[in-house]
Amino acid sequence: MSSDASDASDAADAAVSTDEDEHLIREAEGIAVALGRMFPGLCEVVLHDLRDPQHAIRVIENNLSGREVGDSATELGLARIEDPEYPSVIQNYPNRFPDGRPAKSTSIGIKNAAGRYIAALCLNLDVSVLSPVTLALSNLVATDTEYREQPLETLRDRNARALRRAVEELAAERGATPRSLGRQDKRALVRQLHQDGYFDSRDAAQAIADLLGVSRATVYNYTK
């Protein structure tokens, strides 16, 4: 093959490679836009074109950092340009926006068919927005430690239907019907009902006795 022919072939290969790289980045652009629109105002999504590190930013959705399209690549982008073996995914690392707000970031490198990084998709979650919500939810669900070991009440319906359901479920856990339970299982079931507060009802003991097929006195004996 002549030198001119070889040069022409190399140029054609380079053109194909450039077209393929551009296609990959355009596909990534659509992903970046879609991700950003899924988390409006909360997560900044940035697509970097690492082929042009001085003007790397191709897309920026939910602009929380104040950067613009055409701004330069970050340190991670430069590291990937220098080293094709640099990790493709750096996930959930602490970061900070220029105004000081804390962020949680993930950076995803995109390689072409030749194994060279050509782009990076970065997500920067504004955790300063979530922290007050987390604190508020934590305070909302918190209970006083003084009463955790022995609850003051159970928020359960105490009527006959609820009692029957509880007896049947406890018996089913032992693979039997209430009346077919052995003596020890009936004793354990009654103690569980007593612990759960079902004896607060005036007629509970008789109802339990009828369900288990024992006397009311036996039920009270089982609670001891």
Mean pLDDT is lowest, of 21-35, 67-81, 145-159, for: 145-159
d(CA 198, CA 206): 12
d(CA 224, CA 217): 11
d(CA 168, CA 176): 9
CA distances from 63 to 32, 41, 46, 60, 98 (A): 12, 8, 9, 6, 12
pLDDT band at 9 (very low <50, low <70, confident <90, very high): very low
Name the phi and psi angles at 86, rounded to 5.
-60, 145
Mean pLDDT of 12-18: 57
pLDDT band at 175 (very low <50, low <70, confident <90, very high): confident
Sequence-ordered list of residues with C-beta below 8 angstroms from that of 16, at least 6 positions apart, any chain: none
Mean pLDDT is lowest, of 64-68, 77-81, 149-153, 197-201, for: 149-153
Q: What is the pLDDT of residues 118-161, one digit of tens each?
A: 999 999 999 887 777 777 777 777 766 655 565 555 444 457 77
Mean pLDDT of 68-76: 93
Mean pLDDT is lowest, of 59-68, 110-119, 215-224, for: 215-224
Q: How many CB atoms lie within 10 A of CB 28?
A: 21
**H or E element, residue 95:** strand 89-96
Name the phi and psi angles at 96, rounded to 5.
-150, 135
pLDDT for 11 equals 46
| Position 26 pLDDT exceeds 90 | yes
d(CA 213, CA 224): 19
CA-closest candidate to residue 58, choices 76, 73, 41? 73
CA distances from 83 to 108, 111, 116, 215 (A): 15, 12, 9, 81
Tell whether the torsion through CA atoms of 166, 167, 169 and 174 is positive or negative: positive
CA-closest candidate to residue 107, choices 45, 64, 43? 45
Q: What is the pLDDT of residues 92-111, one digit of tens each?
A: 999 999 888 899 999 999 99
Q: What angle do CA 79, 110, 57 make, to 5 degrees?
A: 70
Length of the chain: 224
pLDDT for 155 equals 47
Sequence-ordered list of residues with C-beta below 8 angstroms from that of 50, at least 6 positions apart, any chain: 56, 73, 77, 80, 81, 117, 118, 119, 120
Mean pLDDT of 11-19: 60
Mean pLDDT of 83-89: 94
Name the phi and psi angles at 176, rounded to 5.
-150, 175
